[in-house]
Structure 1
Amino acid sequence: MTSRQQSIKEAVREIESYVSTFGWDGPVRIFALIRSADALADHPELANELPADVSLEAASSPEAFFSVEQEELPPADSIDHLLSQIAWPESVAGAAISCERITLPPEAENDIPDDEAEAEKFLASDPRREDVRMVVGIARTGESWCALRLRSHDHDDEVLQSKDLVPELVEALRTTFE
């Protein structure tokens, strides 16, 4: 794994850990990833705000990221619509998104009602459902990392991780840099 891939992995891990502190049923969250060395050079006082387990040397690495949560996201009826409204300035070296979804096994697909309101009730009450939180990050240079937490296995040591765990979301986030 390259140092840049390791940096995006670490940023996603930190964001997933941060988002998990708010519990489940949270909103979609978007984060800008800023090169920490650039941020520290422009704002040296940030060094005083580093967590105790992060050294100034590690934070100053040319590949390391700081994440900055974006507040007041534009209204959108889907993640694709939300991401289509986002464009990053050159100073942003990457981005990440956190969102939650309900999944069902494939055999449940035929049981979902066509009516939207009935489908929501069905999804909320079906015992086969699984709540999933996904955090996906991508560097402007293309490296990506994904973390997936299941509500039924809501423990830090059970978070699934891979560079391509949620390929559709990776690709959707990538379009914010085009």
Structure 2
Amino acid sequence: MLSMSNVSPSPGTPMAASPLTRACLEIDEYAAGLGWDKPARLFALVDTARLKKQEPRLASQLGLDTDDAGKSSLTPIEQDTVPSGTPLDKFLGTIAWPDAVVGCALTVERLMLPPSAEASVPEGLSDKQLSKWVAGHPERQEVRITVAVLRDGSRESAVRLREKDSSTEVLTGGGLVPGLAEALAATFA
């Protein structure tokens, strides 16, 4: 059975223009409330109006039968835990979504380097060696990345630095994490 969690924005979450951006920021805020050093989390995105109509009991369980003012037209529903130790690309390759799911999102923590440090990355490192090298780099940044995609190809990302852990400091954009967006979009192929 899927673990379902309605993700609602906190009072500090800025209003976003598109439903996908709002859903992405709601998931980021939900993950922020859980704290850092957490495993990756996968979410199905469903059309809120369709969910209310087709599954009123579930919609009520998720708190969607209350006032809709300011709510997203997409409802994120958390899925079972991403298996630890399984490479993300292999895990995502096993997913197939039912027609009722209009999109999906993933939130994951990673270490990143600023563009100024990328030139110093040694060539020829394996993935494991590169991860170790980045983890030891003095300019590394811990980030939480949330990427959301829709079946129609729309994409959105939210990136939160651990050192600036505030909903007002989240960077958003559709092209921030293109590789992960491609991997999520492939779950609808």
1:87 partnered with 2:96? yes
Give the 3 Å change call, closer, same or farther, for CA 108–77 of structure 1 in structure 2. farther
Scaled by the length of structure 1, the TM-score of the pair is 0.81
**Is there any run of 5+ residues in structure 2 with no aligned partner, and where?**
1-16
For residues 69-121 of structure 1, give each alpha carbon's deviation from its aligned partner in whole angstroms, at most 9, with x where no partner exists.
Answer: 1114356532111111111011111000001111132144239987948963x
Q: Number of residue pairs matched?
A: 169
**TM-align CA RMSD:** 2.9
Aligned partners of 1:94 and 1:140 also within 8 Å: yes
Aligned residue in 1 for 2:63: 50
How far, CA to CA, are the matches of 1:88 and 1:136 in structure 2? 17
Contact 1:33–1:67 under 8 Å retained in 2: yes
1:29 to 34, 41, 53: 41
Please show how residues 1-178 of structure 1 align to structure 2 within 5 Å: 6-45=18-57, 46-47=59-60, 49-50=62-63, 55-56=67-68, 64-74=73-83, 77-104=86-113, 105-110=117-122, 116=128, 120=132, 123-178=134-189
CA–CA distance in structure 1, aligned partners of residues 111 and 182 of structure 2: 20
Task: Give CA deviations for 1:103-161 in whole Å, capped at 9, x if unaligned.
Answer: 132144239987948963x5444432110110000111111110000112111101000
Distance 2:188 2:136 in 1: 38
Q: TM-score, normalised by structure 2?
A: 0.76
Contact 2:44 2:76 in 1 (8 A): yes
Distance 1:157 1:135 in 2: 15
Change (3 A) 1:108 1:165: same
1:114–1:166 Cα change, 3 Å? closer
Structure with greater helix percent: 1
C-alpha distance 78-38 of structure 1, shift in aligned 2 (>3 A):
same
The percentage of aligned residue pairs carrying the same residue is 33
Structure 2 distance, partners of 1:142, 1:115, is 29
